[in-house]
Structure 1
Amino acid sequence: MLGTQPAMRTETPDGPDARPLRSYGRRKGKRLTARKARLIAELLPRLRPDFSGPPPADLRTLFARPSQEVWLEIGFGGGEHLLWQARANPDVGLIGCEPFINGVASLLGGIDDERLETIRIHDGDARDLIAWLPADSVSRAFILFPDPWPKKRQAKRRLITPQLVWSLARILQRGAELRFASDDMKYVRDALHVIGEDEAFAWTAHRADDWRVRPADWPETRYERKALSDGRKSAYLRFRRL
Structure 2
Amino acid sequence: MSENKPDTAPTGAPWRNFYGRRHGKSLRPSQQGYLDEDLASLSPGPVDWDVNPDRNPLDLEALFGGRETWLEIGFGGGEHMVHQAASNPQVGIIGCEPYINGVAMLLGKIRAAGAENVAVHPGDARDMFDVLPEASISRAFLLYPDPWPKTRHHRRRFVTPEHLEPLARVLKPGAVLRVATDIPDYVRQTLEQVPRHGFTWTAEGPADWRMPWDDWISTRYEKKALREGRVPHYLTFLRD
TM-score range, shorter chain: 0.7 to 0.9
2:46 to 43, 50, 62: 50
The answer for the alignment partner of 2:9 in structure 1 is none
Asked if structure 2 preserves the Cα contact closer than 8 Å seen for 1:75 and 1:146, the reply is yes
Alignment of 1:83-162 (within 5 A): 83-162=82-161
The answer for the alignment partner of 1:28 in structure 2 is 23
CA–CA distance in 1 between the matches of 2:193 and 2:111? 38
Q: 3-state DSSP class of the match of 2:195? A: helix
Return the offset for 1:82. 0.2
Residue 214 in 1 paired to residue 212 in 2? yes
The answer for the alignment partner of 1:172 in structure 2 is 171
The answer for the alignment partner of 1:39 in structure 2 is 34
Q: CA RMSD in A?
A: 1.6
The answer for the alignment partner of 1:8 in structure 2 is none
Unaligned runs of 5+ in 2: 1-13
What percent identity do the matched residue pairs reach?
49
Asked if structure 2 preserves the Cα contact closer than 8 Å seen for 1:179 and 1:238, the reply is yes
Number of paired residues?
220
2:222 to 208, 224, 242: 224
The answer for the alignment partner of 1:15 in structure 2 is none
CA–CA distance in 2 between the matches of 1:201 and 1:26? 29
Asked if structure 1 preserves the Cα contact closer than 8 Å seen for 2:75 and 2:97, the reply is yes
CA–CA distance in 1 between the matches of 2:61 and 2:142? 21
Alpha carbons of 1:20 and 1:203: their partners in 2 closer, same or farther (altered >3 Å)?
farther
CA–CA distance in 1 between the matches of 2:186 and 2:113? 35
Q: 3-state DSSP class of the match of 2:203? A: coil
| TM-score normalised to structure 2 length | 0.87
The CA deviation string for residues 181-224 of structure 1, in whole angstroms up to 9 with x for no partner, is 110000111011000122x2111001011011101112211111
Q: Specify which structure has the bigger relative contact order, considering alpha-carbon pairs within 8 angstroms and separated by 6 or more residues.
A: 1
Q: 3-state DSSP class of the match of 1:227? A: helix
The CA deviation string for residues 29-63 of structure 1, in whole angstroms up to 9 with x for no partner, is 12111121111112111112222342344x14213
Q: 3-state DSSP class of the match of 2:235? A: strand
Alpha carbons of 1:189 and 1:32: their partners in 2 closer, same or farther (altered >3 Å)?
same
CA–CA distance in 2 between the matches of 1:215 and 1:239? 13
